[in-house]
Structure 1
Amino acid sequence: MSGSPAHTVLPPTNDAGDNGPHLNTFVILHIVVQTIVWGFVFPIGMVLGLTRSKYHVPLQTLGLAMTSIGFFLGHKHRWRHETGVQSTAHAVMARIIIVQLVLQAASGIYLKLHPVGSKARTIAVRTHGILGKTFPIVGWTQMLLGVIAGLGYCLDGETPQCLAHYIMGSAFNGYACIMLIMLHLGSEFLKRQGQSQEYLDSWVIMLWGIVNTFTMHHDDWLHSHWSHKDMQHTMLGVLWWSGGLLGIFLSRKGKRSFVPALIIFVTGWGMSAHEQSLMISSKIHGMFGYSLMAAGASRVVEICLFLQDGPSDPSNIKVFQYLPPYLLILGGTMFMSATNEEMRHAQDAGIDHVTYGLGVFSISFLLFLHMTFLIHLYSASGRNAASTKTPDIAGEGGYEPLQTNFQDYRDNDTGNGDDLESLELDARGPSRCTS
C-alpha cells in the first residue's frame, strides 16, 4: 500500500485470510539470528569498544558474520519470492544498515592497520565511534520494524496511532536508559556542566511538547472536527512545553526540580483515563497510566527525600533509585503493546488484560536487566576494570598476613613464659570467650 511508513505494498494474507505472520524455517532463523546479534552481540561489543577491551574486535567480527547470515536468510527465503513483499520499512532500513556496517568495518580495519597521528586516522576514529554508538538504537528500531512487517501492522488508517505508540513507548524506554546511565556514570558530567539532570530533562520535555502540540491534529485547527483523542493528545503537548519551561527556570544553576517528575505523573493520570473502543485496550492504557504515575511519584520521593535536593552519589546508590527508571520502562513497554491491532488480536485470542499485563511486566523485567547489565559491563570491563577491583591485600595462599607486635613483646620480655602466652593470644586475635 503506497504511503504507509511501514509498508509500501499490501502484505500477503495467510491461509486464514488475515495479515498474520508467515513463519517458515528461514523466517524463524532470520528472527533468531538477528535478535541475538542486534539485541546482544552488537550492544555488548559497543560497550567493550568504549572501554577499550581486547574482546571488542572479536565480538564485533562475530556479530558482523552472524548478521550477514541473518541478512541472507531474510532476503532469500521462499516467502519473499512467493508473496512479492519487498518494499517494507524493515527492508529499506536493512539496506541502510548494510552501508553502516560496511563503513563501520572499513574504519575499524583502517584503525588497526595505520599508526596514530594522521588526519585520516582522526576521521576514522570519529566515524567508527559515532557509527558504533548508534548500534543499540539502530538495532531496536530495526527489530521493531521487523515485528511490524511480520505481523502486518500499521497499515492504512492505523499508521498514525501505530507510530504514536511505538515512538512514544520507545521514548519512555530511552528516557529510562538515560536515567540509569546518569545514575551510575553521569555525576561527573553534570558537575562539569554545572547543571542538574532536571534542567536537561526539562529542555527535552519542552521541545517534545512543541512537536506534540502541532502534530496530533492533522486537519484544520479552526474549521475541522476535533475528536476527544485529538484534544487530549494536543493538550498533553501543551502540558509538556509549558511544564518544560517551568522546569528549565526552576532547575537553572544546577538546582534539582520536581517538575519533570510531576509532568510524567500528570501524563500518567491523563492516560489512565484515556477511554478506548475495546475494554482490554482501556485496561492496558490504564496500566500504562498508573505506571507513569508511579514513576513520577517515586522520582519526586527520590529527589526530595532520599537525595534531599542534592546530586546522586554513584558510589552509594540506594535500591529505591532503581524504581523510577524501571517504572518508565514498564510504562513504555505497556504503551508499545497497546496499539489498536495488538489489542484486537489479544481480544480475538481470548487474552484478558491481566494475562496480557503480566506478559508486558515480564518483558519490562528483561529490558531492565539488559540495560543494567550493559552499564555494569561498562564499569567492570577494559580500562574500567582496574577501578572496580578490590585492593589485593591477601598474602601467599590467599590469606592476609598476620599482624603481630612481636618487637614490643621482645623489648619488654621479663624472662618468663607469661609474655610468650600473651604473644600467642595476641596473634590469634581477641578472645571471644568470657569467664
Structure 2
Amino acid sequence: MLLNTQRWLPLTLLPFLLLPVLAHEHHDTISDEDLNKPIDSILYMHMGLQALVWGVIFPVGMVFGIVRHRLHVPLQILGFVLTIGGYILGHSHGGRAFPASIHGRTASLLYFPIALQFGLGVYLKLHIHEGTYFRKAAVKAHGIVGASYPILGWVQMLFGALTLGGYCHGGHLGQCLAHYIMGSSFIGYGVLMTLILVVGRGWVPGSSYSPEWWDSWVITLWGIVNTFTEHRGAHWSHKDMQHTSLGVLWWAGGILGIWTSRKRQRSVVPAIIVMITGWAMSAHTQATETSTKIHTTFGVTLMSAGLVRLIEVGFGFVFPPSEGEDTLDRTSTIRPFQHLPPFLLVAAGLLFMSATDEELEFIDKVGMDHVTYTLIMFSWAFFIYFYVNVLVYLYTNTGRNAGSEKPSEGYYKLLANGSRHASDEAGRDSLHDGTIFEMSTVVDDDAEEIK
C-alpha cells in the first residue's frame, strides 16, 4: 500500500505546483470594450468543469466516503485534478474580462481546504501513527472538511453566477445579501428536512427532541439576527419596517415553538411562521410589476410549504412511544405527501434568490415575462430536489449500506422493524454512520471493499 501511494503521490501533487505558473491575476481597472466582449469557449469550459467537480464529483465522493465505497478515493483524486484544471482555465480565457471579484478571491481561498483535505487523505493512506490520538483527530478533520465541500461549492458557484452577470455592486449589495442568504437558507432547510425524512426517521424518534424543536431554535436565532441587521441609518423605509418585523415574528414565534415542541411533542408553530412569512412576502410592495408578481409567486410557494408541513405534522407522522410503552412503532413508510414541504422550500428559496432588482431588470430587458421566469426556477427546483434525493439514495443503498435494512429498507420504506428497540438501534447506527464523513476506507484497508 505504501508503495502504491508513493507511485501516484508525485502525479497528484504536480497540478498544485503548476498553479503559480499557469494562472494570471484579474485587474481592478478594465476597459468597457473588454467588459462587453463575448464569452469565449475556454470560459464556458471553466464553468462546465467546475460545476461538474463541485456540483457532482465532490458531493458524490463525500457520500461514498461516508458509506466506505471503494470509489471514494478515485473520485476525490479526479475532483482534485479537474478543479485545478478548471482554475487554470478560469485564469487563461480570452474574450470578456472581469474585474477583481469575490468569486476570484474565493477561488484562491478554496485551495486551502483542498490542500488540507488532500494532505489529510495522503497521511491517512500512509497508515502511520495507527491508534494514536493524532490519527483519530486527522480522521475527524478529514471528514469535517470533506463534508463542507457541498456548501463551499454552492457558495462559489453563486459567486460565479453573480460575477458573470455583474450583479451586487454598490447599492445593490445589501439586497443581494438578503436574497441570497435567505434563499439559500430555505434551500438548506429543505435539504435537511429531506435528510430527516429519509435517513433520520430512525434517529429522530429515539432522540429527546422533535424536529420542530430544532426548527424553532433555528427560526428564533435567525429572527434575532434579522431584527437587528435589516435597518441601517436614521430613516426607516417600508422595507426596513417589514424585514425587521419579520425578524420579531420569527423569534417571538420561535420561542413559542420551542415551548410547544418540548418533550418530543410535534408542533405546528414553525409551519405557521413559514405561512405568515409567505403571506408577508406575497404582499411585499415592489418597484416593478414583474418584481411584484415574482414576489407573489414566492410568497404563495412559501405559504404552500407551510401549509403542507402543517398538514403533515397534524395528520401525518406520529412519534412512537417512549421506551416501556406497549404501542407499536409507526415509523415504517414515507408517504409521498411528505416530500412536498422540502420540495416547496427548495422552490421558494430559488424564487427568492432570483428576485433581486438587477436580475428582474435583466429579464425585462430580454423580453421574458414572469411566467417563463417562474417556470425556469421551478425547473431548477425539480432538478435540485431530484439530485438531493439521488445523493440520499446513494447513501442508503451503496457501500456498506448496500443490501442492508440499515439505515433503509430500499428507499421509500425505512426501519420497518415492528419494535421500538430495533428502531432505536437502527437509528443509533444511522447517526453513527453520519458522523464518519469522508475517507472512512483509509482507516482500515484490511476491511473488505464494498462494491
2:203 to 179, 189, 208: 189
Which runs of structure 2 are paired with 1:62-141 in the superposition (5 Å)? 62-79=78-95, 83=97, 85=99, 87-115=100-128, 116-141=130-155
Asked if 1:337 corresponds to 2:350, the answer is: no
Distance 2:191 2:54 in 1: 17
Partner of 1:200: 214
**Structure 2 vs 1, CA of residues 254 and 347 (structure 1 numbering), >3 Å: closer, same or farther?**
same
Task: Report the RMSD for the aligned CA atoms in angstroms.
Answer: 2.2
Distance 2:158 2:371 in 1: 24
Counterpart of 1:119, as a letter, is Y
Which runs of structure 2 are paired with 1:157-172 in the superposition (5 Å)? 157-172=171-186
1:8–1:88 CA contact under 8 A, matched in 2: no
**Structure 2 vs 1, CA of residues 150 and 255 (structure 1 numbering), >3 Å: closer, same or farther?**
same
Asked if 1:54 corresponds to 2:67, the answer is: no
Distance 1:245 1:131 in 2: 33
Q: Deviations over 1:68-106 (max 9, x none)?
A: 1101001222358xx472x31111111121111111011
2:205–2:319 CA contact under 8 A, matched in 1: no
1:379–1:388 CA contact under 8 A, matched in 2: no
2:319–2:330 CA contact under 8 A, matched in 1: no
Partner of 1:258: 268
Distance 2:27 2:181 in 1: 20
**Structure 2 vs 1, CA of residues 189 and 123 (structure 1 numbering), >3 Å: closer, same or farther?**
same
1:185–1:314 CA contact under 8 A, matched in 2: no
Q: Deviations over 1:381-416 (max 9, x none)?
A: 11111315999xxxxxxxxxxxxxxxxxxxxxxxxx
Asked if 1:365 corresponds to 2:382, the answer is: yes
Counterpart of 2:164, as a letter, is G
User: Could you say what secondary structure the match of 1:195 adopts?
Assistant: coil
Identity %: 47
**Structure 2 vs 1, CA of residues 309 and 191 (structure 1 numbering), >3 Å: closer, same or farther?**
closer
**Structure 2 vs 1, CA of residues 240 and 97 (structure 1 numbering), >3 Å: closer, same or farther?**
same
Distance 2:109 2:330 in 1: 40
**Structure 2 vs 1, CA of residues 271 and 13 (structure 1 numbering), >3 Å: closer, same or farther?**
farther
Asked if 1:319 corresponds to 2:319, the answer is: no
Distance 1:272 1:36 in 2: 35
Asked if 1:29 corresponds to 2:45, the answer is: yes
Compare CA radii of gyration and give the structure with the larger one.
Answer: 1
Asked if 1:248 corresponds to 2:258, the answer is: yes
Moved more, 287-296 or 111-120: 111-120
2:164 to 138, 150, 168: 150
Distance 1:297 1:141 in 2: 29
2:57 to 41, 47, 54: 41
**Structure 2 vs 1, CA of residues 228 and 183 (structure 1 numbering), >3 Å: closer, same or farther?**
same
1:295–1:328 CA contact under 8 A, matched in 2: yes
1:292 to 288, 302, 327: 302
2:320–2:331 CA contact under 8 A, matched in 1: no
Asked if 1:374 corresponds to 2:397, the answer is: no
Distance 2:200 2:315 in 1: 20
User: Could you say what secondary structure the match of 1:316 adopts?
Assistant: coil
User: Could you say what secondary structure the match of 2:70 adopts?
Assistant: coil
Counterpart of 2:250, as a letter, is W
Structure 2: gaps (5+ residues)? 1-25, 322-328, 410-451
User: How many residues are aligned here?
Assistant: 375
How many angstroms does 1:207 deviate by?
0.3
Partner of 1:270: 280
1:21–1:150 CA contact under 8 A, matched in 2: no
Distance 2:141 2:64 in 1: 17
**Structure 2 vs 1, CA of residues 314 and 21 (structure 1 numbering), >3 Å: closer, same or farther?**
farther
Distance 1:129 1:313 in 2: 33
1:268–1:288 CA contact under 8 A, matched in 2: yes
1:26–1:73 CA contact under 8 A, matched in 2: yes
Structure 1: gaps (5+ residues)? 1-6, 392-435
**Greater length-normalized contact order (CA 8 Å, ≥ 6 residues apart):** 2
TM-score by length of 1: 0.82
Counterpart of 1:26, as a letter, is I
**Structure 2 vs 1, CA of residues 192 and 122 (structure 1 numbering), >3 Å: closer, same or farther?**
same
Distance 1:272 1:306 in 2: 28
**Structure 2 vs 1, CA of residues 12 and 372 (structure 1 numbering), >3 Å: closer, same or farther?**
farther
2:58–2:150 CA contact under 8 A, matched in 1: yes
Distance 2:94 2:295 in 1: 39
Q: Deviations over 1:178-206 (max 9, x none)?
A: 00000011133324431000000100000
TM-score by length of 2: 0.79
1:206–1:243 CA contact under 8 A, matched in 2: yes
